[in-house]
């Protein structure tokens, strides 16, 4: 299996013609990893942008995520087949977007279905998103070591999700950071602003470079061409160890995505 590019492009909000333009710009500047989801309504845009780019299918990594409404018995596989129709391709990776809402379905009900989807060739790999440690352990016990490629979680310098991230690293599950640049809330922080000034970089580039230095994947997004290019340039930013330590020590804020039906967070 090909390797997942560690800096990807999130597609939440990138809908319609303007969304396709942003996705095309992302491919133009060098992104080779798109993250979409059934609930985003951007699978068709991802497929269209890739076809317009002229790039070969194997050059771009595509992740999608199964919506919780499709976790019931017999629902997940048909929903992924619809995603494949929307994308016009088979995803490299398919995630369970959340644990079942209010534990409506036991884990084995929907986890067994995503394994079935992989066995039928409907996805290259599987993973999870927003899984706390207890559920991740249960999933790994059910599907076997090495089957879960990633756990996609909210993570940035202001919310480092350290407990879950450290556990994922200890068991060989890649951490993929969503909201990796904290929706603009990084600006004005004296520590990160000082690090950015030292490197002649933006605070967003510093955050992404910090995540990449830790071995995480990150999926920033933007509709603006300049921000799309600037974020991608974070790959070229090498932070010093003292920079990383200073970012590690930042005061932490509450998570941004915290629905009342969500899991028991670590």
Share of the chain above pLDDT 70, in %: 100
* Per-residue pLDDT at 21: 98
Band (pLDDT 50/70/90 cuts) for residue 2 is confident
Q: How far apart are CA 18 and CA 223, in angstroms?
A: 8
Residue 253 lies in a domain: no
**Which DSSP letter does residue 242 get?**
H
Q: 169: exposed, middle or buried (C-beta count within 10 Å: 0-12, 13-18, 19+)?
A: middle
Residue 260 lies in a domain: no
Spot the catalytic one: 12, 31, 40, 216: 40
pTM to 2 decimal places:
0.97
Residue 174 lies in a domain: yes
Residue 263 lies in a domain: no
**Domain housing 233:** 9-248
* Per-residue pLDDT at 73: 98
Number of domains comprising the chain: 1
Instruction: Look up the CATH number of the domain holding residue 238.
Output: 3.20.20.100
* Per-residue pLDDT at 1: 73
Tens-digit pLDDT profile for residues 41-66: 999 999 999 999 999 999 999 999 99
* Per-residue pLDDT at 89: 98
Q: How many CA atoms lie within 13 A of 20 on its CB side?
A: 12
Map residue 88 onto helix, strand or coil: coil
List Cα–Cα distances, 122 to 19, 73, 87, 109, 144, in angstroms.
25, 17, 12, 18, 19
Band (pLDDT 50/70/90 cuts) for residue 244 is very high
Tens-digit pLDDT profile for residues 195-223: 999 999 999 999 999 999 999 999 999 99
Is the confidence at residue 25, as pLDDT, over 90? yes
Can you tell me the mean pLDDT for 119-129? 98
Q: How many CB atoms lie within 10 A of CB 199?
A: 16
Band (pLDDT 50/70/90 cuts) for residue 145 is confident
Known active-site residue 216: no
Residue 254 lies in a domain: no
Residue 258 lies in a domain: no
Residue 42 lies in a domain: yes
Residue 257 lies in a domain: no
Band (pLDDT 50/70/90 cuts) for residue 251 is very high
């Amino acid at each position: 299996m090909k390797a997942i590019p560690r800096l990807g492009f999130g597609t939440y909000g990138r809908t319609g013609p303007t969304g396709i333009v942003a996705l095309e710009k992302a491919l133009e500047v060098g992104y080779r990893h798109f993250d979409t989801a059934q609930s985003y309504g951007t699978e068709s845009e991802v497929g269209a942008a890739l076809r317009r780019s002229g790039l070969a299918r194997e050059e771009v990594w595509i992740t999608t995520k199964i919506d919780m409404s499709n976790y019931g018995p017999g629902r997940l596989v048909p929903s992924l087949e619809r995603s494949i129709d929307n994308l016009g391709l088979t995803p490299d990776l398919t995630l369970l977007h959340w644990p079942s809402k209010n534990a409506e379905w036991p884990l084995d009900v929907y986890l067994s279905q995503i394994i079935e989807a992989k066995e039928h060739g409907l996805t290259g790999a599987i993973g999870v998103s927003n899984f706390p440690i207890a559920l991740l352990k249960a999933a790994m016990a059910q599907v076997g070591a090495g089957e879960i490629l990633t756990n996609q979680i909210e993570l940035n310098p202001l919310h480092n999700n350290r407990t879950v991230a450290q556990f994922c690293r200890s068991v060989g599950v890649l951490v993929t950071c969503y909201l990796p640049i904290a929706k603009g809330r990084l600006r004005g922080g004296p520590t990160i602003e000082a690090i950015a000034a030292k490197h002649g970089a933006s605070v967003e580039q510093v955050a992404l470079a910090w995540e990449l230095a830790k071995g995480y994947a990150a999926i920033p997004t933007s509709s603006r061409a300049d921000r799309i290019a600037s974020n991608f340039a974070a790959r070229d930013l090498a932070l010093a160890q003292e920079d990383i330590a200073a970012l590690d020590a930042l005061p932490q804020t509450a998570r941004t995505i915290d629905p009342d039906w969500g899991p028991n967070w670590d």
